[in-house]
Structure 1
Amino acid sequence: MLKTPGKGLKKEAAVSEVMGTVLLTGIVVIMLSALGVAVFSMEGPDDVPHTNVQEILDISNNTIYLKHNGGEPVSTENFKIIANINGMRHEYTSSQICESLENSSVWKIGDTIEINSMDAWGVDLGNDDKVELFLVDTPSNELIQKSTLTSALQKNPDLSLCFTPMGDITDTSTSGKNAAKKGYGENWQVSAIDSTTNEYKIATNENKNCTTYYPPTGMINTSIYQEFNFGVKPAAYGIRPGDTFSNVTLIIYYYTHDSTPANNKKDDCDIKFEYYYIDEYGQGKWEYYNETFPAHNSDFEYEYLNLTDRINTPKDLANFKVRIKASTTAAESSEKEINVDYIGLSIEEDNI
């Protein structure tokens, strides 16, 4: 005879399963808590400034301009500039940036950093150079901005540019019966205005900041000249085939030295300028400018040649060069010479 279980008996079979679930849940909570403490105790990434930068590359004076155009201000001690020029790495440090901003500790909207590549890195920028720029936030080592720089005219088609000779300067003149002195010139001597009337007294031509040309006595000799080859590559400035120019002016800053006492000096130097252009048939031609230029016997002075009618296409610009041809009635003892301190071709591109 079967017995019915009494009311005093307990059911304990499911207790272990409930306790196991509670223990597992507790372990998971503890692990998640530990993970959360570890994660939230870590430092977050540095806040990289969000800044809009306008870059202009001016090849004519080896200068890179970086203008803060909008966004957050940047602490100068927290960023540096890396330039990659034709595959070579160059750095512009935080202290150099601060100095460029007139010792300001913050680069803010409207401020411009100017980097002269010759002064900073000894690099003479050419028309075909590839320049990449990296603005780096130093605390995070993250990029603020990366740019491939273009030239000024590419950034602003209405901009006026002035080209100085990038090619060779040739001088075929000599001084004295035995041609002991020869004319001389290099393109760095005519890229900036920095001469004084005492420069001709320096013994060696190499140390002058101006060129030297000795005009022959008598009539102008077509084989005796000083030639400035500008060597411009228009494409490097964003100038395209079919573009035309306006307001083309050759600017010349020169001095006609002679050793005659000041009270006896006369305008005894006949100076002509000849320029090279491409005619309507595609042929290159030398042509004299229609004016004779004065002697500047007392100091360096400017003269301006309007060449708009002749130099008005990219092909003209690419082939542009100019010659000085002169003669003098002065005696050899006067040591007559023409010193050119600056020569530049200023152009504006038609807005078409």
Structure 2
Amino acid sequence: MEGKKYRVLCQDCRGVSEVYGQLLMISIVVIAFSTIAVTVFSEGGAVKPEHIPNTDLREKIHANTLYITHNGGEAIDRSAIKIILTAGNKRSEYSGVGLTIKNPEGTPLESSDKLFTLGDYIEIEISDDLMNEKEIEMFFVDTPSQQVIQKVILSTGNWKPPEWITPHPYGSIYDNSTDEWLSTELLDGIDGEFTTSNIQKDQWIFQQYTFGIDADEMGFPYKLSMVLLNVTYQSKDHSLQNLTLSISTDDSTWTQIAPPPKVEEYNSIDACLAANVTYDITDYVKTADKLEKLSVKFSAIGNAASNKYSWVDFVGIQVK
């Protein structure tokens, strides 16, 4: 009996020791984490983030000059300012003490004036490359924090739609003979770079062109006074016959604007240019919504099997 009691007491003692051991380990872990936290968050151990100025800015473009006015909030150190202007693939940067900053009276700040404050404004002469674009995107950056304080899109007021709107860059070119979408750059200018089709005898081929026109962005009115279509192409050695031009303004119904034999064959681009192959399609495209949906189809029947055949150099729309 005594032996049994002794074993029970021993087992109970071992159980108590394990509990104390677990508590001791937990205490050590808590103390360790507390020590780390005190070190990290103490004044000497913490990494203090750079302050980002809370500043309101007002921007405008007049002529070729961008004006950025401090409209309220915190002052900004002049050396901390970086301004980035982008338009398409064009980019310009302006920064630091090299910026022209004037006070509200229009007097340039002295070199000893280190701060850009309420009422001060920055003047930047914008390059012609940027001003030729419709819009310029501006980033006002605080360099110590590398944060953008303000980002805006500014209208230059100078942009005009091109004289001829081609499928490049917002439209498309589809060739049914190859079942491929072709590069729109091929038709961006009269430059000897042609679209290519696979010509087979007695087979109908066509290329279809869209223009991706946004009438509002391009400043076109709802009612259009004139819409012209220009196509520059060649048909050497009578490889193509029954050349036909059709248009659609609803993605389904096609109207022949130049049925055979109205579309002539030209042995060279020069001959086509001399003929000035331009069609007035105003009667079919009288409004901006029809213009936005405009598609052009140039089709023909192969007169000889010539495999790859280059024939269209330019397709463009002129809107007035």
- After TM superposition, the score normalised by the length of structure 2 is 0.49
